[in-house]
Structure 1
Amino acid sequence: MPTSALHVARTGLEAQDVRMRVIANNLANIGTTGFKRDRANFATLAYQDARVAGQQSSAETAYATGLNLGTGVSVQSTTSITTQGTLNPTGNALDLALDGDGFFQVQLPGGQLGYTRAGNFSRSAEGTLVTAQGYALQPAITIPEGASAVTIGPDGTVSANVAGNAAPVELGQITVASFANPAGMQALGDNYLAETAASGAAQIGAAGDAARGAIRQGMLEASNVNVVEELVDMIEAQRAYEINSKMISAVDEMLRNANQTL
């Protein structure tokens, strides 16, 4: 049975609703450190062939064009746009940003590793570098009590002035994880991502090596959401939503008239 225009319009309505949700989430996270905007991707549904191009139109001729009726649209996927956001200075020695590709590694509850671009770290009561939720940076970096002038180099080397030492003491090195397909990572919430089969396994190394971003101390990466672009997309999605809504109303009216006439 051929798909009705009502069904086609409804699939368009659902698709634009998803698109607006994605855009709304982007705008809601415009102030989220290290946030990467998402994009909704769509695909046309299967076509119904009422007449195939090349089919015989007579004993000697064939149709030059076919008669193909679309059945609507579906949401194919959402894609994370991983372009870098602006690096903003904060003056806080424990705020870190990655200038380039890669992610900080964090130990999540239950032993799972999470990956994040949000480098707003703090010291725990034990002196360990942790996130706002208290999750430890990996590999663990501990700053001794009373240490001062904490310095974190572009390669992730952490040093500080420690009582009893004339020269700065090296406390460890922050490594960076990179992925073959970072857009394939799974969002966990709270600024954390997890590796998947699509992203590939994490490749761990020093910051600044093998295309990994260098660490910038005293800076944070802003969201890469462009407000003007998102608002334009939102207006376009709203117009498409309205058009599909009007189409549904028009088809309903046509069917009502047909039923009354017949």
Structure 2
Amino acid sequence: MSFNTSLSGINAANANLNVTANNIANVNTTGFKESRAEFADLFSYTSYGLARNAIGSGVKLSNVAQQFSQGNIDPTGRSLDMAIDGEGFFTLNKNGSTVYSRAGNFQTDANGFVGTPEGARLQVYPPREGGEGFDVGRTTDLQLLTTDSPPRQTSLVNLMFTLPGNASPMPVAPFDPQDPNSYNASSGGVTVFDSLGVGHVQTSYFVKTANANEWEVHNFVDGEPAGDPVLLQFSESGALLSPANGRIAMEPFTPSTGAGVLDLSLDLSGSTQYGERFQLRDTRQDGYAAGKLDEISISADGVVFARYSNGADTPLGQVALSTFVNPQGLQSQGNNTWAETHTSGVPRRGAPDTSDFGQIQSGALESSTVDLTEQLVNMIVAQRNFQANAQMISTQDQTTQTVINIR
């Protein structure tokens, strides 16, 4: 019996060495969680149960528990590298089966799908139709777009300016955009875009009338009038009074490019009249031309954006994270992945940076949680335990030999 007891100790020490060796081997594995060997003592039972003064029968390996603590987050500068700062696992589709991982060293395949080096695809919540939020009721494979961003037709031009309060009517009348002596100031031209992404120049000319605090604005697109002149009225303090909402609807413009009719509105909100000089404080418009894909970026809440050269940001999906009631119940599948089990419980999914889910750090990876110094100490302790149990067998052998040699 004592031989078996010592043998169980040797097996336990060997198992501890194996766990320690695996930890040390994975000291540089992305997202790896160190394991801990856990042991339980053994007792022999008789038909009458466990004796009151029973002596133990050795030890057994009861569990190899992975420690799901947070690893250090190391920057890499690569946009598709992701680290979870907090709770949660990346949700992956591996040939139709769902697996989970903390390793965010993702890459794209030949079809643009984002996944692990072994081919498990990253799961995201897809954008809703119309671009408002994400459909959190289902997940799909993340696929990067490689096509150009389509153009967006301009519908609104924002101008904010200050007209001189001491301006006088110009000496030349009527207004002629070709004659600078017939107008006091101009917006200088704002590029607007038709439905095909072709640029056109919208220009506003400001002409002081004979009435106090009153101006005319003449709007043109590509040198063609875009409606009749509109009166601008200012208060004695210089605030814009008319039009009341600051909006001017221009006459529709039909481009020669074959694009659709360009309906433009001019927003003059915030414009004023005071001082002695004209100042153009802001020019903006809401359209853009077609754009080339510049980069992929990922926000802290896991939204994956395709950023284009025209300034457009297209959301491709939101990373879906999963948590478990008992992460230690997960079954390791190798390649930095785990699968759910009855012991782990059913996964709960959600978006990053919500509830108890961690944030996503793009351009970074979570390092292994293995403390090399601690593992080397564990190795020494396991080695000593192995030697002690082996010495115990040797001692028991000597004792047995002595008994056999009694005459």
The one-letter amino acid paired with 2:8 is T
Q: How big is the shift at 1:138?
A: 1.2
SS at match of 2:306: strand
Residues 1:136 and 2:137 aligned together: no
- The answer for unaligned runs of 5 or more in structure 2 is 125-140, 147-291
Q: How does 1:217-236 map to 2 (within 5 A)?
A: 217-236=362-381
Asked if the contact 1:48/1:69 (under 8 Å) is kept, the reply is no
Tell me the TM-score normalized by structure 2: 0.57
Tell me what 2:53 maps to: 67
Q: How does 1:66-105 map to 2 (within 5 A)?
A: 67-105=53-91
Output the CA distance in 2 between the equivalents of 1:5 and 1:77: 24
Output the CA distance in 1 between the equivalents of 2:115 and 2:31: 16
Q: How big is the shift at 1:120?
A: 0.4
Output the CA distance in 1 between the equivalents of 2:45 and 2:386: 24
Q: How big is the shift at 1:220?
A: 0.2
Task: Name the larger-Rg structure.
Answer: 2
Q: How big is the shift at 1:247?
A: 0.5
Asked if the contact 2:295/2:308 (under 8 Å) is kept, the reply is no
Tell me what 2:92 maps to: 106
Tell me what 1:120 maps to: 105
Output the CA distance in 1 between the equivalents of 2:347 and 2:53: 49
Residues 29-65 of structure 1, C-alpha deviations (whole Å, 9 max, x = no match): 000000000011111112569xx9xx9xxxxxxxxxx
Tell me what 1:149 maps to: 295
Q: How big is the shift at 1:134?
A: 2.1
Output the CA distance in 1 between the equivalents of 2:402 and 2:294: 81
Output the CA distance in 2 between the equivalents of 1:67 and 1:204: 52
Output the CA distance in 2 between the equivalents of 1:106 and 1:240: 41
Residues 88-130 of structure 1, C-alpha deviations (whole Å, 9 max, x = no match): 0001000000001111011112x11110000001122221112
Residues 182-215 of structure 1, C-alpha deviations (whole Å, 9 max, x = no match): 1110000011100011111111100111211110
Tell me what 1:6 maps to: 3
Tell me what 1:58 maps to: none
Residues 9-39 of structure 1, C-alpha deviations (whole Å, 9 max, x = no match): 1111111111110010000000000000001
Output the CA distance in 1 between the equivalents of 2:345 and 2:324: 6
Asked if the contact 1:48/1:71 (under 8 Å) is kept, the reply is no
Tell me the TM-score normalized by structure 1: 0.88
The one-letter amino acid paired with 1:114 is V
The one-letter amino acid paired with 2:381 is E
Asked if the contact 2:3/2:393 (under 8 Å) is kept, the reply is yes
Output the CA distance in 2 between the equivalents of 1:81 and 1:180: 14
- The answer for unaligned runs of 5 or more in structure 1 is 56-65
Tell me what 2:173 maps to: none
The one-letter amino acid paired with 2:110 is A
Matched residue count? 243
SS at match of 1:207: coil
Residues 1:251 and 2:251 aligned together: no
Task: Using the TM superposition, name which of 216-225 and 203-212 deviates more.
Answer: 203-212
Residues 1:21 and 2:18 aligned together: yes
Output the CA distance in 1 between the equivalents of 2:393 and 2:293: 68
SS at match of 2:68: coil
Q: How big is the shift at 1:135?
A: 2.0
Tell me what 1:38 maps to: 35
Q: How big is the shift at 1:257?
A: 2.1
SS at match of 1:188: strand
The one-letter amino acid paired with 2:320 is T
Asked if the contact 2:105/2:365 (under 8 Å) is kept, the reply is yes
Closer, same or farther in 2 for the Cα pair 1:209/1:191, shift >3 Å?
A: same
